[in-house]
A and B are shown apart, each in its own frame.
Chain A
Amino acid sequence: MLKQSIVVAALVAAAWTAPAEARDQIRIVGSSTVYPFATAVAEQFGKTTSFKTPVVESTGSGGGLKLFCAGVGIEHPDIANASRRIKKSEVEQCKKNGVTDVVEVRVGYDGIVVANSKASAQMKISRQQLFLALAKDVPAGEGKLQPNPYKMWSDVDPSLPKIKIEVLGPPPTSGTRDAFAELAMEGGCKKIKWIAALKKSDKKKYKAVCHSVREDGAYVEAGENDVLIVRKLEANPDAFGIFGFSFLDQNADKIQGALVDGVAPEFEKISSGEYPVSRSLQFYVKKAHVGSVPGIKEYLAEFTSEKAWGPEGYLADKGLIPMSDEERKKWGSEANGLVVNVNEKMM
């Protein structure tokens, strides 16, 4: 037992001295949606340069930005990945903790798809129908709301199939859910005139109406694991699932994406912005760490190189939807020039 105590003491002593040394490894936190792309770049970067492979944590966009904004210094991460843009409150939090010079780098797009098993017919749905099928409260005449009464898709609109509404999707902690609520639900919600008018008069209520997802069992929170959703869709041909495009891309032999507002979730259509439910993916770099942590500039160069984020690059192979040539040029030059482009005014 004495021996063990010595080991413990030695370990603690070793740990005590460790943080005092400089860090020689980039630390990245953030979104689980950007994780597959950031890790692919990190691995490539580690193998082709003399720097160590960066450590990439999957914490979710919000959790990552919180860690990122906690301060400047080697105990804080250098880069935060996010599947949504940084919020005003987060910029303020950053500023309060001394993180002032932040570089935003957009890397590409991700489409959110509504998919079902290949065993059943492909769905054609509008965002308004999606909102009506999945909202907690739906409009019942001018200015009135009622709890969602729709049980079948055909109740929402006779053109939709006569099957029970059953949608598997991410939980509220997920960035995918945020983006889905904002792009698909709100997108459909504001097509109803009196709700759109609410946006000006009562913004809080507008958000509550448009973003609340029903809780009566028709929408099933399936956890953050998208692979699981794909498996469940295979087993149940009547169910639909909501997840990122890369999962549809990798499982195109088993599942198919629904046409939203008449546009199929295809690579080119998401890239061009034609597909309505798509969002940008980005990461944030702490400029103060460039120089004290080796390799950040080179990591940016790797991420923004054509062989990574270009239309033929290895990230496209992983399911990232690349930006247009002009956008890549703009974001690439800002990233490599370390142009501070995050401030409170951008919101």
Chain B
Amino acid sequence: MSEVVQVGTPSAAGRPVAVRDTKALVAKSLKRRYAAERRFRLYGVAAIAFAGFCVAVLFVTIFSNGYTAFWQTNIRLDVTLYPQDIDPQGDRSPKALSTANYQKLIKQAFGDLFPDVQNRREKRKLFDMISPGATFVIRDMVLKDPGLIGKRVQISVPLSDDIDQFAKGFIKAETPESERRVKDAQIDWFQRLKDRDLVVTEFNSTFFTAGDSREPELAGILGAIMGSVFTMIVTLAISFPLAVGASIYLEEFAPKNKWTQLIEVNINNLAAVPSIVFGLLGLAVFLNFFNLPRSAPLVGGMVLALMTLPTIIIAARAALKAVPPSIREAALGMGASPVQVVFHHVLPLSMPGILTGTIIGMAQALGETAPLLMIGMVAFIVDIPGSPVDPATVMPVQIYLWSDSPERAFVERTSAAIMVLLCFLIVMNALAVVLRKKFERRW
């Protein structure tokens, strides 16, 4: 390796030809090449570290903003269910029981704790500390068991969102009184309740069992979760069979001509169409022409199915293409018909890829809000939907609506709802991994 070789060619100007030792040359360039390699790896590590940092910041912010929403400041209240207030007729009729003035009972019970508060304005401030939802807690208890009437029961009812925010430290006592929503007197009363051990911090089960509400302490995500579930079922039921059928035909059976090419180009284009366009289409076709109900997950699912179709078709075609031709040929050679070849061999083998595409498409659809605006799913809906034709909203829309609410307590609920949505996405992606592992085959 020590022989001297000529490197380079004589230049046009006829200058002396450079003669160098290869070893020296290699050694020299080697250093540079190693450095380049190290640099490239460093770039890669830096890129991943930066991405990781961003994700960490996002998660930490959401979590630190939102974890407090899973706890709610409640008060333990002893309420006497006076029969003359609930059921003056004494006939225990459901109508009387459901329309009785339970608010009076709550006010009585709460007012009894503060016998020194008599002034009307002061009393108003005092009762503002209890959530209006307390009334419904009592009502539901009585409706469930009318036998309770006349007895003294202990209930745990939420305090109002402002007091809750104060208890969690988001509203500070140091700020001047005129600038905070919790007044000095209320802070004093809250302290007295605490001293008497009546204030309890409990798991906020309302958040997971209720629909939307304008009172943050009564608002829950279940309505939106059910809406999302129904929407996703409809989306999956429509887009999966359609997309798989379309891609099988295009990939395995369709002749390669101008028409199929045109269709192919259109499918690829559709994948890039902004989602709001699908919403407009849904409004024009499903609502105005077919007269389907507004705000229904059925229509939402249909619109989102249109949106996810191209994604699944493209993924499914790629997966079908990746199945080696030898498998098809072998099956055909054994006497299988083309349909048998596809359904017995090619489709099962391409399933992991198709499922991955489907789940990516579904995850996209799960986070979509723009097309739903057009078909009326961006709405305030209290009742929890029981079927795909009931009015409903979905999780990302709920997040959007809460994030735009002026009440301070909705800030933490927004973050909590984002956490729930992220959990759903993680579960879906985990499902994709499991399914892929299950069906995966190597050749």
Q: Which A residues lie at the B interface, using CB under 8 A?
A: 1, 4-5, 7-8, 11, 14-15, 18-19, 25, 27, 29, 32, 35-36, 38-40, 42-43, 46-48, 50, 52-53, 55-59, 75, 118, 224-228, 246-247, 249-253, 312, 314, 317-319
The 27 listed contacts between A and B (C-beta, < 8 Å) are A1-B241, A4-B236, A4-B237, A4-B241, A8-B238, A8-B241, A14-B387, A15-B292, A19-B292, A29-B376, A36-B214, A36-B406, A39-B380, A43-B382, A53-B383, A56-B380, A57-B376, A57-B378, A58-B378, A58-B380, A75-B293, A227-B411, A228-B403, A252-B179, A253-B171, A253-B180, A317-B128
The reply to whether A11 and B237 contact each other, CB–CB distance below 8 Å, is yes
User: Which residues of A have CB within 8 Å of B298?
Assistant: 11, 14-15
Question: B382 is contacted by which of A36, A46, A59 (Cβ under 8 Å)?
Answer: A46
Query: What is the distance, in angstroms, from B393's C-beta to the closest C-beta of chain A?
Result: 9
Whether the Cβ atoms of A253 and B179 lie closer than 8 Å is yes
In this complex, which of B99, B214, B292, B405 has the most chain A Cβ atoms within 10 angstroms of its Cβ?
A: B214
Are the C-beta atoms of A19 and B291 separated by less than 8 Å? yes
A228 to B179, CA, bound (A): 20
Tell me the bound Cα distance from A250 to B180 in angstroms: 8
Q: How far is the CA of A327 from the CA of B117 in the complex (A)?
A: 34
Q: Which listed residue (A8, A29, A227) contacts B403, Cβ 8 A? A: A227
Main secondary structure of the interface of B (DSSP, over half): loop
Those 5 A-B pairs whose CB atoms lie nearest each other, nearest first:
A53-B382, A56-B380, A39-B380, A57-B379, A253-B179
Q: Is B220 an interface residue (CB 8 A)?
A: no
Task: Given the known inter-chain contacts A15-B389, A250-B406, please indicate yes or no for A7 contacting B214, CB distance below 8 A.
Answer: no
Q: Is B292 a contact of A227 with CB atoms below 8 Å?
A: no
Complex: chain A residue closest to B244, CB-CB: A1
Q: How far is the CA of A48 from the CA of B136 in the complex (A)?
A: 9
Main secondary structure of the interface of A (DSSP, over half): helix
Contact between chains at B382 and A18 (CB < 8 Å): no
- Given contacts A36-B405, A36-B406, A319-B406, A19 and B293 within 8 Å (CB-CB): yes
Question: Is B323 engaged at the interface, CB distance under 8 Å to the other chain?
Answer: no
Q: Give the CA-CA distance A143 to B136 in the complex, in Å.
A: 65
Residue B110 lies at the interface, judged by CB distance under 8 Å to chain A: no
Smallest distance from the beta carbon of A80 to chain B beta carbons, Å? Answer: 13
Cβ of B329 < 8 Å from any Cβ of A?
Answer: no
**B391 to A, closest residue via Cβ:** A55
With a cutoff of 8 Å between Cβ atoms, the chain A residues found around residue B178 in the complex are 252
Q: In whole Å, how far is A67's beta carbon from the nearest beta carbon of chain B? A: 9
Which B residues fall within an 8 A CB radius of A? 98-99, 124, 128, 132, 136, 171-172, 175, 178-181, 213-215, 234, 236-238, 240-241, 244, 287, 291-296, 298-299, 373, 376, 378-383, 387-389, 391, 401, 403-408, 411
Find chain B residues with CB under 8 A from A46 CB: 382-383
A residues near B408, Cβ cutoff 8 Å = 250-251
A42 with B380, Cβ < 8 A, contacts A15-B296, A250-B181, A312-B124 known = yes
Question: Which residues from chain B contact A8 at a C-beta distance below 8 Å?
Answer: 237-238, 241
Q: Is the CB of B237 within 8 A of A35?
A: no
CA distance A246 to B410 in the complex (A): 14
Report chain B residues within 8 Å CB of A53: 381-383
**A70 to B396 CA separation, bound complex (whole angstroms):** 28
User: From residue B72, how far is it (CB to closest CB) to chain A in Å?
Assistant: 18
Q: Is the CB of B293 within 8 A of A39?
A: no
The answer to whether B404 and A225 touch across the interface, beta carbons within 8 angstroms, is yes
Residues from chain B with a CB closer than 8 A to the CB of A314 are 132
Nearest residue (CB) in B for A57 is B379
Closest residue of chain A to B379 (Cβ to Cβ) is: A57
Chain A residues near B128 (CB-CB < 8 A): 317
Query: Which partner residue on chain B sits nearest A2 by CB separation?
Result: B241
Looking at the assembled complex, report how far the CB atom of A251 sits from the nearest CB atom of chain B, in whole angstroms.
8
The reply to whether B136 and A52 form a contact with Cβ atoms under 8 Å apart is: no
Q: How far, in Å, is A120 (CB) from chain B's closest CB?
A: 15
Query: A226 contacts B404, CB within 8 Å?
Result: yes
Q: Which of A7, A27, A224, A253 contacts B294 (CB 8 A)?
A: A27
Write out the residue numbers on chain A whose beta carbons fall within 8 Å of the beta carbon of B234: 11
Q: B215's closest neighbor in chain A, by CB?
A: A43
Among residues of B, the one whose C-beta sits closest to the C-beta of A252 is B179
Q: How far is the CA of A102 from the CA of B225 in the complex (A)?
A: 37
